[in-house]
Amino acid sequence: MALSQTVETPVLTYEQPLGLFINNEFVKGVDGKTFETINPHNEKPIVAVHEGTADDVNIAVKAARTALNGEWKQITPSERGRLLTRLADFLERDIDTLAAIEALDNGKGVSMAKGDVTASAGCLRYYGGWADKIYGQTIDTDTNSLTYTRHEPVGVCGQIIPWNFPLLMFAWKIGPALATGNTIVMKTAEQTPLSGLYVAKLIKEAGFPPGVVNVISGFGRTAGAAIASHMDIDKVAFTGSTLVGRQIMKSAADSNLKKVTLELGGKSPNIVLPDANLEEAIEWVNLGIFFNHGQCCCAGSRILVHEAVYDKFLELFKKRAEQNKVGDPFHSETFQGPQVSQIQYDRIMGYIQDGKGAGATVVTGGDRHGSEGYYIQPTIFADVTENMTIVKEEIFGPVCTVQKVQSEEEAIQVANDTNYGLAAAVHTTNINTAIRVSNAVKAGTVWVNNYNTLHYQMPFGGFKESGIGRELGSYALENYTEVKTVRIHLSKS
Ligand code: ADP
């Protein structure tokens, strides 16, 4: 099968690389296998890409190791920064193509996809700026010694990303890893391999030496598992489900104790208190759950509303959710496209059935949208109880529950009644309440009077079962450096 193919989208035609990207070349997999990626809008295959398995991961790791000890090591930190900022420029140059790829492969609205491209370029440029600002310390212990620390690259990093933000997760992962001088074996999600391969082409064009970034299209149980258990990968960074996160950690423990960072699931609370500006709060609550079709690990899926404003809130929120434009990702006004796959569609519809069966009230939605594609209506459940599955488990779709609470204290108690701790929000116009609630909620990010406003300068990650470590900001750099202490004894003469 060919290593690239012309792909037509409703807005443009482009050349899509199909091979695995190893040592700056697109190649076929050792097993010679391919797999199709499906357009979630019409359920038809887009193209088939070459599939990587454990043997290909081995080859990629060797390439990454050679680069780490060779050409990449010789490149100055400033030059690493320049390569990253050049790559950011290329993402911006090709924004229309990349946005079209994301709309086609993932199903997100093309205007949202453009936002992802801009945020990805911003992230790469930000880490490009960090590349020559990675310093250790000098530590003064006594007059007979000189002690200093070096922040060295961890080494070959395995990175496994999900399908909900294929390009953005790619950027979040490679940015800090490359800024700090590591090399990478990246596995993209099997549902959305296309943007990663396109960026691989740009990585070569930007001038990164061979082997610094390798991109494997493949499945979790084969290529993903091979990365997690590899004896010559020094670190694994994973974004995805909590279930798989546990497996990755076990594989790391059972193999070479590679360093592990995990960005996992959530069931994030979004609290609306009586003094909130209700109209504004509803805009944010709507964005909090329905942005990216609810396929966000930090989605505000549990909405906790004070009884004083509950009825009014529910009436206005229903109205607002019903205004969300659901449909073809290539229509510029589309807010919500299809879910990514049949499996996700079935999983979400299963939760909706479960909620109905458990006696929750469907305020709006609760059904398929249209007759073709993996579309689901924006769905709001009310009259739920704490122990219902739809309140407990991450649904990862356009489905939320609204619960009534009687006080700020109860809101905090219910907010924290979860194994997850990725994000939370509170809507209030009282600064004291805002700070009190933010301090009390156990979550990696707390938004006050907004939601889902991530930024590459701000750390992001989870408390509790939502993960280990922080991505983005300067915090992410710590995941990709080993601290070495050098102590020199000073001779008297
Ligand atoms: P989802 O269930 O939403 O698809 P996953 O956590 O299964 O999320 O997938 C996220 C990423 O993890 C994907 O790239 C997938 O291929 C990968 N993955 C899935 N299972 C494993 C596994 N056992 N080991 C390593 N990676 C895996």
Hey, which of 238, 244, 292 would you mutate to test ligand 1's pocket, going by the most ligand atoms within 8 Å of its Cβ? 244
Which pLDDT belongs to residue 268?
Answer: 98
Q: What is residue 399's predicted lDDT score, i.e. its pLDDT?
A: 98
Q: How, if at all, do strands 467-468 and 259-263 pair?
A: antiparallel
Helix pair angle (166-179, 194-206), 10° resolution: 40
Q: Which domains does the chain have, with CATH numbers?
A: 4-264+467-483 (3.40.605.10), 269-455 (3.40.309.10)
Q: Is 190 in the pocket of ligand 1 (CB under 6 A)?
A: yes
Distance CA 54, CA 46 (A): 25
The pLDDT of residue 453 is 98
Reduced to 3 states (helix: H, G, I; strand: E, B; else coil), residue 81 is helix
Do residues 18 and 2 touch, judged by C-beta distance below 8 A? yes
For residue 361 the two structure tokens come to 């009230």
Determine if ligand 1 sits within 6 Å of the CB of residue 83. no
DSSP state of 326: B
Instruction: Output the pLDDT for position 429.
Output: 98
Active site residue 465: no
Query: What average pLDDT does range 174-192 have in this prediction?
Result: 98
- pLDDT score, position 155: 98
Q: pLDDT, tens digit, for every residue of 284-296?
A: 999 999 999 999 9
Quote the CA–CA distance of 218 and 303 in Å, as a whole number.
36
What is the Cα–Cα distance from 348 to 261, expressed in whole angstroms?
A: 27
User: Is the model's pLDDT at 38 over the cut of 90?
Assistant: yes
Does pLDDT of 35 surpass 90?
yes
Could you say which DSSP state residue 291 is in? G
pTM of the entire predicted model: 0.98
Q: What pLDDT, on a 0 to 100 scale, did the predictor assign at position 426?
A: 98
297 has catalytic annotation: yes
Helix (H, G, I), strand (E, B) or coil at 233: coil
Q: Is the pLDDT of residue 493 over 90?
A: no
Contacts for 437-443 with beta carbons within 8 Å, 24 or more apart?
A: 437/271, 437/273, 437/408, 437/411, 437/412, 440/412, 440/416, 441/269, 441/412, 441/415, 441/416, 442/416, 443/268, 443/269
The token pair that represents 210 in the structure block: 């061979």
User: Is pLDDT above 90 for 358?
Assistant: yes
What are 373-386's pLDDT values in tens digits? 999 999 999 999 99
Which residues, including other chains, have CB under 8 Å from residue 74's CB and lie 6 or more apart?
none
C-beta pairs of 432-438 under 8 Å, 24+ apart in sequence = 433/273, 433/275, 433/408, 436/408, 437/271, 437/273, 437/408, 437/411, 437/412
What would you measure as the largest C-alpha separation in the chain, in angstroms? 86
What are the backbone dihedrals phi and psi of residue 431, each rounded to the nearest 5 degrees, phi first?
Answer: -60, -35
pLDDT in tens, 69-84: 999 999 999 999 999 9
In sequence order, what DSSP letters do the residues of 454-481 get, joined into one string?
--TTS-B--SGGGEES-BSTTHHHHHTE
Residue of 157, 296, 297, 400 marked active site: 297
- CA-proximal residue: ligand 1, atom 18 (nearest): 220
Instruction: Note the pLDDT tens digit of each residue in 195-223.
Output: 999 999 999 999 999 999 999 999 999 99
- The answer, yes or no, to whether residue 24 has pLDDT greater than 90, is yes
Cα–Cα distance, 168 to 307 (Å, whole number) = 38
Q: What are the CA-CA distances from residue 40 to residues 104, 111, 189, 330 (Å)?
A: 8, 17, 15, 12
d(CA 175, CA 83): 11
430-441 pLDDT, tens digit per residue, is: 999 999 999 999
Pair 396, 407: CB distance under 8 Å: no
Average pLDDT score, the chain: 98
Using one digit for the tens of pLDDT, what is the confidence trace for 226-281? 999 999 999 999 999 999 999 999 999 999 999 999 999 999 999 999 999 999 99
**Active-site residue among 263, 408, 465, 471?**
263
User: What is the tens place of the pLDDT at every residue in 299-338?
Assistant: 999 999 999 999 999 999 999 999 999 999 999 999 999 9
Q: What is the mean pLDDT of residues 41-46?
A: 98
Mutate to test the pocket of ligand 1, among 159, 160, 248 (most ligand atoms within 8 A of CB): 160
Confidence of residue 406 (pLDDT cuts 50, 70, 90): very high
* Helical ranges in 136-259 per DSSP H: 166-179, 194-206, 225-228, 242-254
State whether the beta carbon of 91 lies less than 6 angstroms from ligand 1. no
**Cα–Cα distances in angstroms (integers) from residue 39 to residues 45, 161, 181, 191, 328, in the given order:** 6, 19, 36, 9, 11
The number of angstroms, rounded, from the C-alpha of 383 to the middle of its chain's C-alpha atoms is 31
Q: Is the pLDDT of residue 428 over 90?
A: yes
376 DSSP assignment:
B
pLDDT for residue 1: 86
pLDDT band at 492 (very low <50, low <70, confident <90, very high): confident
